[in-house]
Every structure is written in C-alpha cells, then in structure tokens.
C-alpha cells in the first residue's frame, strides 16, 4: 500500500500551528530565563555546609532528574491544586513545571563549575570584604557559567522540545494544535511531519546562535 502525501491539506490550519509555535517559544523563553538563574541558586545551595539545606535541595534535584517529565506535568496540573489549594493559569503552570525541571538539570551543570573555582579566588573575595552573596555573584557565577554554558544551551533546547508534553493538559502550544488539526483533517502524517519540522527548524536555529555565542566567548574569554 502506497501512501500519497498531501501537505496542501494542512493549509487551513497553518494559522493555528503558528499560534501554537508562538506559545511554545514563550514558554521556552520564560522557562530558560528562570532555569538559568534558579539552577545556579540551587547548585549553590547543594554545596552548603548544612545538611539541613543540602538534603531537601538534593531531593529536589533527584526528583526532577529521575522522574519522567510527563509525570511531572500531569502531577503538577492535577495534584498541586488539590493538595496545596494553589490554582494558576494553565500557561503559568506550564512555565512553572518546565522551569522546575530545567532548574534541576541546570543545577547539575553548574555544580562542576562551582567546585572548580580556585580557593585563591574565594580568599581574594574575603580579603576584599565581599559578603557570601557578593562572592557568589561576582566570583563563582561568572566562572561556573562559562564552564556550564554548553550544557545549559543543550538543556535549554531540550526544554523547548519538552513543551510538547504540555499538550496532554490542554495548553495550546504547537503539539496541541497539531493534534487538533490532525483530528480535523484526518491527515496525521502530514500534520505531525510539519510539527516535527517546525521543532527541528527552531532547535537548529537556536543551536546555531548558541554555537556562535560559544565561539565568540572562546575567542574573548578564557576559563
């Protein structure tokens, strides 16, 4: 049996797909902005001297790294409102879930950079009268960020792709509109091929931009 592709059939749903792609990008950008910052904070807390601080932070990291992202999405959407009586808009909840997942993975990316900061730099910060917060921002963060950047970039692209999981809780991102269109025109192969190509195009474009940033960074900075 030979299947005849007809991509013209999806023309009626292109506006919806573009709208879904815009929502996907909004979620991905917000999640990455949050995840890059909170990942560093969580990584610093995971290195704290107090076990009372390290234990819950480590549990947070392991939970989000060792459970499926789809389970996390479903749990937050259906369990958080019931258990904690917290009700957020679907878009806000979607950004929150992807951000928390990304935070855990980014924390692990930062950890090696934080541990590699020379003791002399810490001592210099103390000698200059920097507070622990100032040492974290002005000494540890630049060093850790430079080392972690390639992994942070990869995690960011993966987070964008994980937004497709939000379609199961009816957030109207790209995958959601793809499923809706496929059920309307009965052309799932054409629809999901198009959806896949859109994800691929965005991922490749972002990867190229990040490679350019990495090359520029390598030319102007040394670790």
Average pLDDT over residues 189-215: 93
Is 155 a domain residue?
yes
Is 6 a domain residue?
no
Gap between the Cα atoms of 27 and 36, Å rounded: 14
Is 2 a domain residue?
no
pLDDT > 60? residue 222: no
Is 190 a domain residue?
yes
Is 98 a domain residue?
yes
> pLDDT higher for 8 or 38?
38
Q: Express each pLDDT in 78-133 by its tens digit.
A: 998 999 888 889 999 999 999 999 999 999 999 988 888 888 887 788 888 888 88
* CB 20 within 8 Å of CB 174: yes
Helix-helix angle 174-185:188-220, to 10 degrees: 160
- Residue 172: which CATH number? 1.10.3720.10
pTM (2 d.p.):
0.91
Is 91 a domain residue?
yes
Range of the domain at 86: 14-220
**Number of independent structural domains in the chain:** 1
- How far does Cα 142 stand from its chain's mean position? 20
Is 168 a domain residue?
yes
Is 149 a domain residue?
yes
Q: Give the model's pLDDT for residue 223.
A: 46
Q: What's the DSSP call for residue 154?
A: H
Cα angle 121-42-81, degrees, rounded to a multiple of 5? 165
Q: What's the DSSP call for residue 129?
A: T
Comparing 51-60, 160-169, 178-187, 213-222, which segment has the lowest mean pLDDT?
A: 213-222
pLDDT > 90? residue 206: yes
Among the listed residues 158, 44, 175, 53, the one whose alpha carbon sits nearest the alpha carbon of residue 111: 44
């Amino acid at each position: 049996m030979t299947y005849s592709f007809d991509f013209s059939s999806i023309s009626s749903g292109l506006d919806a797909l573009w709208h879904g792609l815009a929502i996907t990008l909004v979620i991905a950008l917000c999640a990455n902005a949050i995840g890059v910052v909170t990942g560093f904070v969580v990584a610093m807390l995971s290195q704290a001297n107090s076990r009372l601080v390290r234990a819950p932070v480590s549990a947070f990291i392991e939970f989000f790294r060792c459970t499926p992202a789809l389970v996390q999405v479903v749990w937050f959407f259906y369990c958080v409102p019931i258990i904690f009586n917290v009700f957020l808009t679907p878009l806000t909840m979607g950004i929150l879930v992807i951000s928390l997942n990304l935070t855990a993975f980014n924390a692990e990316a930062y950890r090696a950079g934080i541990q590699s900061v020379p003791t002399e730099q810490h001592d210099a910060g103390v000698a200059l009268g920097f507070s622990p917060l100032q040492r974290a921002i002005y000494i540890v963060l630049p060093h850790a960020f430079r080392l972690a950047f390639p992994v942070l970039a990869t995690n960011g692209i993966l987070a964008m792709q994980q937004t497709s999981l939000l379609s199961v809780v009816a957030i109207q991102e790209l995958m959601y509109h793809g499923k809706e269109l496929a059920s309307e025109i009965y052309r799932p192969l054409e629809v999901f091929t198009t959806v896949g190509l859109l994800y691929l195009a965005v991922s490749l474009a972002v990867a190229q931009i990040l490679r350019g940033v990495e090359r520029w960074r390598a030319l102007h900075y040394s670790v």
